[in-house]
Chain A
Amino acid sequence: MAALHIALKDLKQRVRDRSAFLWGIVAPLGLAAIFSLLFGPIADFEVSFAVADLDGGNVAAAFVEQLGTLEQEGILTLEVADTAAAAEGLVEDGSVDAAFVIPIGFTASVSAGTAVEVEVIGNVDRAIGTQVARSVAAGFAGEINTVGAAACTVLTARDEPCAGSPSLGTLAAAALAEPAFTNSPATLVDSPAASKELSSETFYSAAMAILFLFLTVQFGVLGLLEERQNGTMRRLLAAPISPRSIVAGKALTSFVLGVVSMTVLVVGTTVLLGAEWGNSLGVAVMVLAGVIAAMGIMFVVAAFARTPEQASNLQAIIAFVLAMLGGTFFPIAQVGGLVAKLSLLTPHAWFLRGLGDLAAGGGVGAVFPAAFYVALFGIVTGGLAQLRIGRVLQP
């Protein structure tokens, strides 16, 4: 009962000073909106290219035709330039992101089996578009190599020498000019239901929510240090209540602040930003697990810090390091190696993973593994903190 009175008193103070409101709701909601606006339209990303076919041969035509196919699929827009200078001009005036220049003798070189190259002219301000252009050119070069290898196999079957054979280039050029050959038999199809990828709105909403959750819960647990600094800890310890009920009261405050702020964020980002969190019960499980994790860390900080200011700074550092490592700012798992493995030590990574499971259409049961790891993080850290929290319960 004493814990409840302490929690109610703390919550009243937090409502009055509005700090929890700002850290728990306004900041994460605002940042999620900003990040969504900045990175959200990635689905509508378009590139525009120019191509100057100076060769005019059938292999060059096959490359231009591939670009045309991509344009028809709405992946890029294509302008045809008559000269290399015209293509470069389109890049420089910003009409296109990059330009391909197919040099004279391109088809002949492919037929001869000698080295060929397609020049890519990129706009310095459009790095992504330029990179896509390079990838397209590299992809076509790969096809040339593949076709060359296939042609070599045919020649070998005919008991003809492959290396240096004039037939090799002829066969390869003919194959590359044949649309049925160059069209990939296998196509990668994106299936949102099967993927565990969150939409940008959902990802940044969830990422900011879990990041700021670690800052919001401090307003409860750090109250232990504030009570000491204000001298009110002496009064609490002199009262006919168990010292543990003081800790319980602060924990309850953190828990309520965490759950309320996360709930408001889930609802707010759904309504305002169009975030799709998935199964409500599953989200609730992940939120509860996240709050437990944040409280555990906060108790560790409170157990070791000397002043509320020191604890607040420490908590901010820990919150941001865990958030970055956990992939709330960018998908750090794609970096691979040790960093990707370290990422799995953070509750943030598991939190986002759990929401990914929900995004893939999973029910509440789908989040249990992720929720377990998130909550385990809090239980272990919080348990360790209890060994030292008595240090704070001193007059």
Chain B
Amino acid sequence: MAGDTRLVLEARDLKKAFKDLHAVKGVSFHIAEGETYGLLGPNGAGKTTTISMVTGLLERDAGEVIVNGQEIFTTSTEPKRAIGYVPQDIAIYPDLSARENLAFFGRLYGMGGKQLQSRIDEVLEIIGLSDRADDASEEFSGGMKRRLNIGIGLLHGPRLLMLDEPTVGVDPQSRNAILESVERLSTEGMAVLYTTHYMEEAERLCDRVGIIDEGEIKAEGTRAELVSMVGQRDKVRLSATGHLEAAVEAVRAIPEVHDASTREDGMDLLVDGADRALASILQAVAAAGTSVSSVAVDEPNLEAVFLHLTGKALRD
């Protein structure tokens, strides 16, 4: 995708240390128009420090950040117009209403008049707070505050939206609403940088994922590329009765099947591309006189990739 469309963000060799702690050690990545890029890593991996440097919040020790063709520094003003930032913690004024919060930040981005008011209405619609627009935001639920937190980042129509773990502490319903919003923004052409330590969110939202740990990007690519990088195969579990040994012999003849073994109530297979090979497997098992009652396929995921790359679980 990056090769087809214009790059909105280029981060090159970013480094940041806090005294003796090297929080970020040479992180590089890029995001193109309409692309959602995920930084996936556990707490303390360097995600927030990276996003803070990219946003121009934090001075970097080394490296370069280009947003929309302009280099970003902490003192930059104009290049920051292209960025919408959604901090990890809810950053709203509780004694102001949702509309007042949006209006204040809109004015800081140079918006005003009818343009601002109509954009506020649009954003309130997107985040589902139109009917509570004039209520003090301190009366909102946690999920509503999170949505307003995102709405402020969207208000000025940025080319690059940065969301720093936007679903932490959010109930499942609100989380789904947030993820749907991000998916929609991406389809509308916005470049999105999304940091998370939830593997499911990265898999669902991100076109490409950078796996970050201890301040370094360990691997980067699409989900498929990352999984293939690790070389793991799908696990297929068949619950079956009948001639299990004969069935095992039959499936071993299928090229995609790398291993097959029996167990008391069925058989386990290791397969390259279970989605393609499953029909052949079931035909071979049936031909061997075995009756299959259920099939379960475990595909390797980013959790497994992370484990493979770092030797530890994502939520450590």
A, B: real partners: yes
- Inter-subunit contact A2/B87 (CB<8 Å): no
Q: How far is it, in angstroms, between the C-alpha of A210 and the C-alpha of B99 when the chains are bound?
A: 37
- Inter-subunit contact B75/A13 (CB<8 Å): no
What 0/1 pattern do residues 221 to 240 of A give for CB contact below 8 A with B? 00000000011101111111
Docked complex: B70-128 residues within 8 A CB-CB of A: 74-81, 83, 85, 87, 89-96, 100, 104-105, 107-110
- Inter-subunit contact B96/A231 (CB<8 Å): no
Q: How far is it, in angstroms, between the C-alpha of A209 and the C-alpha of B77 when the chains are bound?
A: 40
Please, which residues of chain B bring their CB within 8 A of the CB of A6? 108
Residue of B74, B76, B83, B93 near A232 (CB, 8 A) is: B93
Interface residues on B, range: 20 to 34
**Would you give the shortest CB distance from A49 to chain B, in whole angstroms?**
62
The verdict on B52 contacting chain A, using a C-beta distance below 8 Å, is yes
- Inter-subunit contact A238/B85 (CB<8 Å): yes
Q: How far is it, in angstroms, between the C-alpha of A230 and the C-alpha of B85 when the chains are bound?
A: 16
Please, which residues of chain A bring their CB within 8 A of the CB of B109? 239-240
Please, which residues of chain A bring their CB within 8 A of the CB of B196? none
- Inter-subunit contact A238/B56 (CB<8 Å): yes
The verdict on A361 contacting chain B, using a C-beta distance below 8 Å, is no
Residue of B57, B92, B94, B100 near A238 (CB, 8 A) is: B57
Residue of A231, A239, A243, A395 near B108 (CB, 8 A) is: A239
**Would you give the shortest CB distance from A22 to chain B, in whole angstroms?**
16
The verdict on A104 contacting chain B, using a C-beta distance below 8 Å, is no
Please, which residues of chain A bring their CB within 8 A of the CB of B57? 234, 237-238, 395
Q: How many residues of A contact B (CB 8 A)?
A: 22
**Would you give the shortest CB distance from B312 to chain A, in whole angstroms?**
28
The verdict on B152 contacting chain A, using a C-beta distance below 8 Å, is yes
**Would you give the shortest CB distance from B138 to chain A, in whole angstroms?**
11
Please, which residues of chain B bring their CB within 8 A of the CB of A239? 80, 105, 108-109
The verdict on B290 contacting chain A, using a C-beta distance below 8 Å, is no
What 0/1 pattern do residues 107 to 144 of A give for CB contact below 8 A with B? 00000000000000000000000000000000000000
Classify the secondary structure of B's interface with A: loop
Of A5, A232, A238, chain B has the most CB atoms within 10 Å of the CB of A238
Please, which residues of chain B bring their CB within 8 A of the CB of A240? 76-81, 108-110
- Inter-subunit contact B96/A12 (CB<8 Å): yes
Please, which residues of chain A bring their CB within 8 A of the CB of B92? 232
- Inter-subunit contact B85/A9 (CB<8 Å): no
The verdict on A242 contacting chain B, using a C-beta distance below 8 Å, is yes
Q: How far is it, in angstroms, between the C-alpha of A42 and the C-alpha of B85 when the chains are bound?
A: 64
Residue of A9, A241, A243 near B93 (CB, 8 A) is: A9
Question: Residues of A at under 8 Å CB distance from B?
Answer: 2, 5-6, 9, 12-13, 16-17, 230-232, 234-243, 395
What are 21 inter-chain pairs, A to B, with CB distance below 8 A? A2-B108, A5-B104, A5-B107, A12-B96, A230-B94, A231-B91, A232-B91, A234-B57, A235-B87, A237-B74, A238-B80, A238-B83, A238-B85, A239-B80, A240-B77, A240-B80, A240-B81, A242-B75, A242-B77, A243-B75, A395-B52
Known: A2-B108, A240-B77; 8 extra A-B contacts, CB below 8 A, are A12-B96, A12-B100, A17-B95, A230-B94, A231-B87, A231-B89, A240-B110, A243-B75
